[in-house]
Structure 1
Amino acid sequence: MDATTLLTSQSMTVCEFRCDAGPDDTPFAECRTGHSIAYVRSGSFGCHCRAGFFELVAGSMLVGAPGEEYTCTHEHVSGDVCLGFFLSEDMVDALSGRREIWRVGATPPLPELMVLGELAQTAADGNSDIGLDEVGQILASRFIDVVSGKPRKPATPNARDRRRAVEAALWIDDNSHEEVDLEQAARQAGLSPFHFLRLFSSVLGVTPHQYLVRSRLRHAARLLADDGIAVTDVAYDVGFGDLSNFVRTFHRAAGLSPTKFRQASKGMRKILQEQLALN
């Protein structure tokens, strides 16, 4: 089993698990130490636990609770890949819902969860502007709604809530060139990460991380109009951690690479200058 940690915060840890076990390998028991959900990306495996025996395939979710023992088997095929979300007790409390929900063992490939699982994988691959911790919270919240059969009521922000969200957005924009994460922004707003994500998204229509990325893109577009700043410098100046991530994200948003965008902006300036000269 190869495990790669993709994100660590006070609220959750996200890991990718790649298992190459097969029918000839001897299964062994493991014990959960916390609450978790693991989205099966590919492959298949079985799971024996107190809730019963489950066959998991792509789109299924393995669910864990503290103290729960489980044994995974690979009777049919070799290997699987999972994206695991390990939640803090504070996050589980914020999600609410009965604790028994976390002892269901597993869920089948449900469309309500599969679409979010794939979004989480897209975020893990760096191909989305939603934060991996954000989609992890959304997936966990949706899991509780689906299993409990009680949809969560839409948030109805009051004037104070809306002010909090707007002030948080202004703070994110002012600090978008720095390392900003969900927990930092939530502290600025005086809320837990879970409640801050719900409030911000409800008021402004985007998640905090989406707004952060779009603020960086907006600042980058402005800087790219200036020939005096190298594309690499633009990427780091606006807050992107590496050039390839900046190029990929900018191209996804603008439909052009940063270099092509700069060339296009120069062309537009030239057209405007020629029009002004003719007038």
Structure 2
Amino acid sequence: MSANREDRAPNVRHIASGDGWRLSEFVCDAGPDDRPFEERHDDVSISAVVSGSFDYRTHAGAAFMHPGGILLGAAGRCYECGHEHGRGDRCVAYAFRPDYFAEIACDATGQVDYEFATPALPASLGLAPL
């Protein structure tokens, strides 16, 4: 049996940041023997899966994440990731401070309290070159 996944947090490498946002790379080596556990998004998260696959469950639903998929996470909301189908994944993640994202979302949608209605966006051939 593998170590408890809570003891095997993903490796995080910060790439860039600015006022209200940061860009990081997350590399996880969890696998089928690691039990999923509840985590929480501190900030709004928009993450591109670069390699590997995992199951993502949140208040907005569940999604099977794989390369090209875009994970959407709401600040303050809990989620779980499971690696039932293989070991490890790599994601590049933008984290936005909630007030910063609220301003962007309001400008884009006209909604003051915008929240993602889905846990993820599907992989797109248009994103493949990235």
Q: CA RMSD in A?
A: 1.7
Q: Distance in 2 between matches of 1:57 and 1:16?
A: 15
Q: Counterparts of 1:115-154 in structure 2 under 5 Å?
A: 118=130
Residues 63 and 103, structure 1, Cα contact 8 Å, conserved in 2: no
Deviation sequence 1:26-71 (CA, Å, 0-9, x none): 1110111221101000110001111222101100011111221110
Matched residue, 1:49: 58
- For the pair 1:67 / 2:76, whether they are aligned, the reply is yes
Matched residue, 1:110: 124
Q: Rate the CA distance shift 1:104–1:110 in 2: closer, same or farther, 3 A.
A: same
Aligned residues: percent identity? 32
Query: Which runs of 5 or more structure 2 residues have no equivalent in the other structure?
Result: 1-9
Matched residue, 1:159: none
Matched residue, 2:3: none
Q: How many residues align?
A: 115
Bigger relative contact order, structure 1 or 2 (CA pairs below 8 A, ≥6 apart): 2
4+ residue runs over 4 A deviation: none
Q: Distance in 1 between matches of 2:104 and 2:83?
A: 35
Q: Which has the larger radius of gyration?
A: 1
Match of 2:103 among 93, 107, 111: 93
TM, length-normalised to structure 2: 0.80
Helix, strand or coil at the partner of 2:100: helix
Residues 65 and 103, structure 1, Cα contact 8 Å, conserved in 2: no
- For the pair 1:24 / 2:33, whether they are aligned, the reply is yes
Residues 44 and 101, structure 2, Cα contact 8 Å, conserved in 1: no
Query: Which runs of 5 or more structure 1 residues have no equivalent in the other structure?
Result: 119-279
Deviation sequence 1:180-201 (CA, Å, 0-9, x none): xxxxxxxxxxxxxxxxxxxxxx
TM, length-normalised to structure 1: 0.39
Task: Give the structure with the higher percent helix.
Answer: 1
